[in-house]
Chains A and B, each alone.
Chain A
Amino acid sequence: MNTEKNITTQTRLTDNIYAGLEKKPVLYGIFALLIVAVLLVPQFANNYLLEIFTNTWFYIVLCLGLNIVVGYAGLLDLGYAAFFAIGAYTTGILSSQFGMNFWLTLPFSILFSALSGVIIGGPTLRLRSDYLAIVTLGFGEIIRIAARNLSITGGASGLIGIERPYLFGIYLSKIHHFYYLFFLLVILAVIVSYRLHYSRLGRAWQYIREDEDAAEAMGINRVQIKLYAFVIGAIFGGMAGSFYAIKMTAISPETFVFTQSAMILLAVVLGGMGKIPGVILGACALVLFPEIFREIGQMRMLLFGIVLLIIMIFRPQGIWPERRN
């Protein structure tokens, strides 16, 4: 009884803090500070730190992409890494085997990830309930296993020697280049997510997520609206994959295992579905937690699991959830 009371007052406290943070001047102030801090970091940080930050930016983009599917539209996607793989392999194959410039591979990466989104989503989104979860789970595995067995994807050893591109005359090779490049992607992903959230489409997703029947009875095309979410999410994943390919210069099928999809989903749920700052926090936790506790070795994943359990028990709506009403 008493603990329950404590939890609610505690929840109310954090909600008040978030509500305070969401006031416009406060929000802009925090944004400005964050951006300055982010831009200055490479002046002080060593390569190890920059690597971790770049990795964080990368996962933020992936998580924001999955957030459109899971958070905005309420669709459970258990194979998101598949789209990330499609983007990475599209860029990888076109640049390493056809010598195509990286920037030219991006439209193909968008095309193929969107197309696979339509192929998977088109038939399954017609069905109600959780069929999508099962199909995406299978799709994730199919893509990985196909990549491992096809010769064009380099089989189990993957692709190597993916050509890095030039940007504004700079050859992207140093870690701080990627640090800035990926941060740019984060900003782009945040802007797109934000605009979508407050668009007509965003409203339709919200209706569908809250009450599919009522939304449908009001004339919303349920299948089409869900498919938009699924395809836009796929494109985010594909783009992130392309950039991942040039940063690593090598990709292998084992990057795209089920745990990858599960971790991204976890970050979205942990942070707070549908809420951009929440999802960003979730992505940061996903990357930073295992790094900070690197010293305790294998134990750290156990600890991570325990922390997740605690959060799920005491704050099931996520760290920074979408505010209802």
Chain B
Amino acid sequence: MMTETILAIEQLETYYGKIHALKGISLEVKQGQIVTLLGSNGAGKSTTLRTISGLVPAGAGKVSFMGRDITKEEPHNIVSMGLIHVPEGRRIFKGLTVKENLELGSFTLKDDMERQKRIEHVFEIFPILEDRQKQDAGLLSGGEQQMLAIGRAMMTEPKLLLLDEPSMGLAPIIVREIMRIIKRLNEEGTTILLVEQNAKIALKLADYGYVLETGKIVMEGDGATLREDRSIVQAYLGA
């Protein structure tokens, strides 16, 4: 069976002023997959995601999503096509309640019934968020904030979810919980591009992986192959 390519990146280059952050990256995400992008600090992982979602303009190359060229598209239009980016550091709105944060996720939606339905779905995936729905999101623990950030993104019912280091700064047990949820979202039909520094946990989930080093892809392969590769485990395990 041929699986459809949902996201394709060809020779993508990005600059921050004079700094050449991405030096021609090509990668592919197929419908229904979890693809991971590994690399150490400063390799360009976040930049790749930010360029895909339009938050930083691409210098050269092409990004296509479901067959459409989105390289020059405005970020809010990309969101409405079904590609959503959960930025690094969670970026939830402190001072607003958990529920209000989720409502932001469906901001572009005008149907209140549908919104309620989606909120209930998010609560089903993250029961802890339902218990805390009236609390200030700033008072949540790190893991709960990460869940809220993912839950907020799920409010748009995305086709493709870009996750930027969801394990960052979390205790191992919470990381496992988050990974379990990512797996579940994927099984429910969301395609996922997962950026991680923690190669070991990411490769447990991923169907396919890319390794990024100073703005270039230095290795790629399916999850199982990369898991076996001792050099990767050694270099990017972080332990």
Beyond the given A210-B93, A217-B84, A221-B76, please list 8 additional residue pairs across the A-B interface where CB-CB is below 8 A. A203-B104, A213-B55, A217-B75, A217-B85, A219-B80, A220-B76, A220-B108, A324-B95
Which residues of chain A are near B74, meaning CB under 8 Å?
221
Which residues of chain A are near B104, meaning CB under 8 Å?
203, 207, 215, 218
Which residues of chain B are near A214, meaning CB under 8 Å?
87, 91-93
> Is residue A22 within 8 Å, beta carbon to beta carbon, of the partner chain?
no
Question: Could you tell me which residues of chain B, from 66 to 81, have a CB within 8 Å of some CB in chain A?
Answer: 74-76, 79-80
Nearest-CB residue, chain B, relative to A200: B107
Count chain B residues whose beta carbon lies closer than 8 angstroms to a beta carbon of A: 27
> Is residue B190 within 8 Å, beta carbon to beta carbon, of the partner chain?
no
> Is residue B198 within 8 Å, beta carbon to beta carbon, of the partner chain?
no
- Among candidates B84, B87, B138, B153, residue contacting A213 with C-beta atoms closer than 8 Å: B87
Which residues of chain B are near A215, meaning CB under 8 Å?
104
> Is residue A211 within 8 Å, beta carbon to beta carbon, of the partner chain?
yes
* Cβ-defined contact, B107 with A218, below 8 A: yes
- B residues adjacent to A (C-beta < 8 A): 53, 55, 74-76, 79-80, 84-87, 91-96, 103-105, 107-108, 136, 138, 152-153, 156
> Secondary structure of the A side of the interface?
helix
> Is residue A254 within 8 Å, beta carbon to beta carbon, of the partner chain?
no
Size range of the interface on A? 10 to 19
* Chain A to chain B contacts (Cβ below 8 Å), 28 pairs: A200-B107, A203-B104, A206-B93, A207-B104, A207-B107, A210-B95, A213-B55, A214-B91, A214-B92, A214-B93, A216-B75, A216-B76, A217-B55, A217-B79, A217-B84, A217-B85, A218-B107, A218-B152, A219-B75, A219-B76, A219-B79, A219-B80, A219-B84, A220-B76, A222-B76, A325-B94, A325-B96, A325-B136
Question: Could you tell me which residues of chain A, from 217 to 265, have a CB within 8 Å of some CB in chain B?
Answer: 217-222
Nearest-CB residue, chain B, relative to A216: B75
- A residues adjacent to B (C-beta < 8 A): 200, 203-204, 206-207, 210-211, 213-222, 324-325
Cα A210 to Cα B74 in complex, Å, equals 20
Which residues of chain B are near A211, meaning CB under 8 Å?
91, 93
Name the residue in B85, B87, B104 with the highest tally of chain A Cβ atoms < 10 Å from its Cβ.
B104
Cα A213 to Cα B53 in complex, Å, equals 11
3 tightest A-B CB contacts, nearest first: A219-B79, A214-B91, A325-B136
Which residues of chain B are near A206, meaning CB under 8 Å?
93, 96
Which residues of chain B are near A200, meaning CB under 8 Å?
107
* Cβ-defined contact, A218 with B95, below 8 A: no
Name the residue in B80, B92, B95, B138 with the highest tally of chain A Cβ atoms < 10 Å from its Cβ.
B95
* Cβ-defined contact, A218 with B156, below 8 A: yes
What distance in Å separates the Cβ of A322 from its nearest Cβ neighbour in chain B?
A: 9
Nearest-CB residue, chain B, relative to A323: B95
What distance in Å separates the Cβ of A165 from its nearest Cβ neighbour in chain B?
A: 41
Cα A222 to Cα B86 in complex, Å, equals 17
- Among candidates A207, A217, A220, A221, residue contacting B53 with C-beta atoms closer than 8 Å: A217
What distance in Å separates the Cβ of B143 from its nearest Cβ neighbour in chain A?
A: 18
Which residues of chain A are near B87, meaning CB under 8 Å?
213-214, 217
What distance in Å separates the Cβ of B199 from its nearest Cβ neighbour in chain A?
A: 25
Cα A49 to Cα B107 in complex, Å, equals 48
* Cβ-defined contact, B107 with A216, below 8 A: no
Which residues of chain B are near A221, meaning CB under 8 Å?
74, 76
What distance in Å separates the Cβ of B115 from its nearest Cβ neighbour in chain A?
A: 12
